[in-house]
C-alpha cells in the first residue's frame, strides 16, 4: 500500500513538473540564481568547461549574491565572476537586449578585471589570465559563426615597416592573457546542431528548446540537474515575482531611454524648423 502511494505521489509530481511554466534560463536573474550558488558549482564548472574547452580542477564564485535593489536598477549587472584553477579570472553574463555596445562593454569588463587582479608594484608576469564570456540572446557581429573568440591581435605590417628577419611564422596574438567570448543564441538556433557535445547541450537548455532539452538531459548529468533546479524554482511564486520585477525594471529602463531619445529628436527637429 505504501509503495503504491509513493508511486502515485511520484506520478503526481512528474505531472505537476510538466504543467508548471518554466523560468527561462536566458534571463540574467535566473541564470545567476542557477549557476552562482555554492551547491550548484558543478553546473557552472560543466558549463565553463564546455565553453572554454579546459579542465577545471577548482572554481570559486566571487559574487554569488543577488543585489536587493536589482529589480529597479537596470545598471546593476547580474554577471558571475569566478576564479578558475587559481589562475584564471572569468566573468560570464547573459545579455537579453541589444544595446549596441557589447564589444566596448566586454572590453571594459576585461580591462577592469585584469587591473583589479594586479596589485601595485606586483610583477606583471603574475597577471592572471582574464576571460569575459557574453551569451547574447540576439545577433550582433557580422560573422558566420555563433561562438566567436577574440584576442588582441597584430595587424598586417605595412610595406614601410616590413623587415625580413627570416621568421617563417610571425606572432599573431599580442597576449593570450586577454580573451573574450561571444555566443549568439539566435545564430546557434539557426545552425540547429545536434546534442553530441556538452556545449550544444548547455546552449539548447539556455535557448529553451524543449525537444532538444529532453534529449540533452539524458546525455549530460549536469544539464539534468540544472533542469531539476529550474523546475523547483519555477514552482516558487517568490522566484516568479523576482523574475517579473527584474523584467519590468529592464523594460522600464529601455522605455525611458527610448522616450529620452525621442525628446532629443523632437528638440533637434524644432531647432531646424
Convert the pLDDT of each residue in 208-264 to its tens digit: 989 999 999 999 999 999 999 999 999 999 999 988 888 876 665 554 444 444 454
Show the beta-strand stretches assigned E in the chain.
Answer: 59-61, 80-84, 88-95, 129-136, 147-153, 173-184
- Whole-angstrom Cα distance, residue 219 to residue 50? 14
Average of per-residue pLDDT values in the chain: 82
**Could you tell me which residue, 172 or 114, shows the higher pLDDT?**
172
Quick one: pLDDT at residue 16? 47
124: containing domain: 21-152+174-261
**6 is a domain residue:** no
Tens digit of each residue's pLDDT (9 = 90 or more) over 26-61: 999 999 999 999 999 999 999 999 999 999 999 999
Residues contacting residue 124 through CB under 8 Å, at least 6 positions apart = 118
How many domains does the chain contain in total? Answer: 1
According to the model, what pLDDT value does residue 3 have?
52
Q: Is residue 30 one of the residues assigned to a domain?
A: yes
> 162 lies in a domain?
no
pLDDT on residue 113:
82
Q: Is residue 161 part of a domain?
A: no
Residue 188, in any domain of the structure: yes
Q: Does residue 12 register a pLDDT over 50?
A: no
pTM over 0.85: no
| 6 vs 162 pLDDT, higher one | 162
pLDDT at 152 > cutoff 90 = no
The grid coordinates of residue 112 equal: 577592469
DSSP string, 82-146: EEETTTEEEEEEEE-S--S-HHHHHHHHHHHHHHHHSPTT--GGGPPEEEEEEEESS--SS-S-S
Is 97 among the domain residues?
A: yes
Counting Cα atoms < 13 Å in the Cβ hemisphere of 6 gives 3
Q: Which residue has the higher pLDDT, 68 or 171?
A: 171
Whether residue 13 is contained in a domain is answered as no
Amino acid at each position: 500500500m505504501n509503495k503504491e502511494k509513493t508511486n502515485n505521489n511520484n506520478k503526481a509530481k512528474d505531472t505537476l513538473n510538466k504543467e508548471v511554466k518554466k523560468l527561462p534560463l536566458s534571463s540574467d536573474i535566473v541564470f545567476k540564481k542557477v549557476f552562482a550558488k555554492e551547491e550548484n558549482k558543478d553546473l557552472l564548472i560543466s558549463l565553463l568547461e564546455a565553453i572554454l574547452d579546459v579542465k577545471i580542477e577548482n572554481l570559486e564564485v566571487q559574487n554569488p549574491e543577488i543585489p536587493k535593489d536589482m529589480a529597479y536598477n537596470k545598471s546593476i549587472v547580474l554577471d558571475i565572476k569566478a576564479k578558475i584553477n587559481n589562475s584564471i579570472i572569468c566573468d560570464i553574463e547573459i545579455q537579453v537586449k541589444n544595446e549596441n555596445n557589447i564589444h566596448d562593454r566586454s572590453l571594459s569588463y576585461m580591462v577592469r578585471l585584469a587591473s583589479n587582479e594586479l596589485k601595485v608594484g606586483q610583477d606583471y608576469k603574475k597577471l592572471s589570465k582574464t576571460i569575459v564570456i557574453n551569451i547574447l540572446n540576439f545577433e550582433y557581429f557580422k560573422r558566420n559563426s555563433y561562438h566567436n573568440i577574440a584576442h588582441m591581435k597584430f595587424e598586417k605590417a605595412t610595406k614601410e615597416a616590413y623587415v625580413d628577419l627570416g621568421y617563417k611564422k610571425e606572432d599573431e596574438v599580442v597576449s593570450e592573457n586577454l580573451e573574450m567570448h561571444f555566443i549568439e543564441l539566435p545564430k546557434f538556433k539557426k545552425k540547429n546542431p545536434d546534442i553530441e557535445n556538452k556545449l550544444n547541450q548547455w546552449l539548447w537548455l539556455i535557448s529553451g528548446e524543449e525537444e532538444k532539452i529532453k534529449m540533452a538531459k539524458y546525455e549530460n548529468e549536469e544539464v539534468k540537474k540544472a533542469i531539476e533546479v529550474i523546475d523547483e524554482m519555477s514552482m516558487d511564486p517568490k522566484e516568479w515575482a523576482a523574475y517579473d520585477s527584474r523584467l519590468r525594471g529592464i523594460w522600464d529602463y529601455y522605455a525611458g531611454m527610448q522616450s529620452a531619445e525621442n525628446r532629443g529628436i523632437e528638440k533637434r527637429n524644432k531647432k531646424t524648423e
